[in-house]
A and B are shown apart, each in its own frame.
Chain A
Amino acid sequence: MALDCTTPVLIVDDYKTMLRIIRNLLAQIGFADIDEASDGSEALGKMREKRYGLVISDWNMEPMTGIELLREVRSDENLNRTPFIMVTAESKAENVIMAKKAGVSNYIVKPFTADTLKAKIEAVTG
């Protein structure tokens, strides 16, 4: 399936290193319009200013976590159809279940490969 790499992507992570890794991986896949936020509240602000075709978010951030961001996004009628991938070190089944119940589109556990990221993006944006 061909990816639409013109879609704007928002990456949310409190670690600059992780933002940089994901940005580079996305650039390698072909995405060019990539924005960053360091927690859920900053991400929410950016999402209300610009329409993103994909959000890739960490779970464990302060002050607003990824799961809280996901719930906010899914309860906002202007944002609730945005594909949302959780990329996190939280690798317990209870986390996956909570994320799914909150409406996550896909879930990637860290550390991950570029192929996994690409496959999950294709799955949620196709």
Chain B
Amino acid sequence: MAAASTSKKSQASAGPAAAMSEAMQVVEELRRFAEEISGMRAEIAQLKASELATERLPAAGRQLGQITETTEAAANAIMEAVEEMLQADAADSAAYKALVSNKAMAIFEACAFQDVTGQLIKRVSETIFQIESRITRIADRIETTAFPEMPLTTRQQRERELLLNGPQAKAEAIAQDEIDALLADFN
């Protein structure tokens, strides 16, 4: 009886202390949580999402479009020059030589596209690098497990099913003679 009375007393005295300790823990958790949120806010502010959306990404899109146009124009200029050389009458050797010389210069001029596209590609690469590094910093703080795996879009699903991988990096691509060997194995 006496022992039971002592136990009840100690529970009664431990109750408020335990509750206080738990409350302190919750407060500490909330404080750390607030710190995390504050840090993430700073990271998100550094993302400069509005600048990315209104300036950098549209600029990168325009630059990629410009690359396509520039390379297409160069390819067409080169092919036009070559077609004219192939169709030229070589009977008049002086005139033929002058034409070939003229068209060769046109080809050299068209090859200047590489300088322009090189610069544009460099700018797009810089934008992608900036986006990647900022997102990586945020992902590191949040923990990647916080992001559930996104379902594939219809386009991604189609690309996966039809193997629409596009041009491969050298390490992943196989050469024509390897392709020939692969086809020969089937035969």
Contacts and interface: CB of A to CB of B under 8 A. Distances in A.
B151 interface: no
A106 B180 CA distance: 8
Interface string B74-115: 011001001100100000000000000000000000000000
Interface SS of chain B: helix, strand, loop or mixed? helix
Interface SS of chain A: helix, strand, loop or mixed? helix
B183 A100 contact: yes
A17 B166 CA distance: 17
Contacts of B167: 89-91, 110
Nearest to B73: A17
A89 B166 contact: yes
Interface string A25-40: 0001000000000000
A52 B85 CA distance: 30
B165 interface: yes
Interface residues of B, number: 24
A96 B75 contact: no
B174 A24 contact: no
Contact of A109 (B76, B172, B176): B176
B31 to A, nearest CB: 52
Nearest to A101: B186
A98 B75 CA distance: 31
Contacts of B179: 91, 96, 107-109
A125 interface: no
Contact of A65 (B72, B164, B186): B164
Interface residues of A, number: 29
Given A96-B174, A109-B175, A60 B166 contact: yes
Nearest to B176: A109
B150 interface: no
Nearest to A109: B176
Contact of B186 (A28, A92, A100, A112): A100
B173 interface: yes
Report, nearest first, the 3 A-B pairs whose CB atoms are least far apart: A91-B173, A89-B167, A17-B75
